[in-house]
Amino acid sequence: MARTESYMLPLNTVAPSFTLPNSVDNQMLSLEEVKGSKGTLVIFMCNHCPYVIHLLDKMVEISNEIKPMGIHTVAISSNDINSYPEDRPELMKKLALEKSFGFPYLYDETQEIAMAYEAACTPDFYLFDGELKLVYRGRFDDARPKNDNPITGLDLMTACTNLSNGFPQEAHQIPSLGCGIKWKAGNEPKGFTTH
């Protein structure tokens, strides 16, 4: 697994729109339909990534905790399923049901949405405010599959709490780290903006 960091999309970027199929029921869902009144957490993830698996239970827990704050969560998988069949939509559905996702798990077959968000790794976290402006992008916490740090979700939860309370966000945001998104041939990012 290639360790890849977030590209760190510039703060205040407006969330790129999308309409993608939900793997659970195959219904098309748009950003407008899934966004929260106070904020929206967009997570790029996949089924097979060890970094995602390591954090997944806590990610589901936090998504439930922030929902009453008016912050909704949506997960998107953009991996090339021809090369990584374990990330197929039917297995996305299986995972979502097994783990009782309280949020949609969308499939970005063309990878256009991952490119629009400049997503780099799984998991990659983006927290937008009620006006869909980016206020946080970065890591969940400092837990990794090969360290013994407790899985707390502290960095992300702090950002959500700050957003909910109208407090300023941490000026220093640390990139997320995970497996690189599995791009289709020809889709590999060539010119994401450097931050």
Torsion of CA 137, 152, 147, 120, to 10 degrees: -20
- Cα gap 78→62, rounded to integer Å: 22
> How far is residue 72's CA from residue 145's CA, in Å, rounded to a whole number?
26
Coil, strand, or helix at residue 89? helix
The 3-class SS string of the chain reads: CCEEECCCCCCCCECCCCEEEECCCCCEEEHHHHCCCCEEEEEECCCCCHHHHHHHHHHHHHHHHHHHHCEEEEEEECCCCCCCHHHCHHHHHHHHHHCCCCCCEEECCCCHHHHHCCCCEECEEEEEECCCEEEEEECCCCCCCCCCCCCCCHHHHHHHHHHHHCCCCCCCCCCCEEEECCCCCCCCCCCCCCC
The ranges assigned to domains in the chain are 3-180
Q: What is the mean pLDDT of residues 68-85?
A: 97
Return the higher-pLDDT residue of 3 and 148. Answer: 148
pLDDT at 78 over 90: yes
pLDDT the model gives residue 179: 94
* pLDDT bracket for residue 192 (50, 70, 90): low
- Asked whether the predicted pLDDT for residue 70 surpasses 50, the reply is yes
Residue 5 has pLDDT above 90, yes or no: no
pLDDT digits (tens, 9 = 90+) for 177-191: 999 999 998 888 765
In this prediction, residue 186 carries a pLDDT of 86
pLDDT at 1: 46
Measure the CA–CA gap between 81 and 126, rounded to whole angstroms.
23
**DSSP character for 193?**
P
> Per residue in 113-172, pLDDT tens?
999 999 999 999 999 999 999 999 999 999 999 899 999 999 999 999 999 999 999 999
The pTM of the full predicted model, rounded to 2 decimals, is 0.95
User: What CATH code is assigned to 3-180?
Assistant: 3.40.30.10
Give the pLDDT of residue 195.
Answer: 37
> What value does the mean pLDDT take over residues 94-106?
98
pLDDT tens, position by position, 13-48: 999 999 999 999 999 999 999 999 999 999 999 999
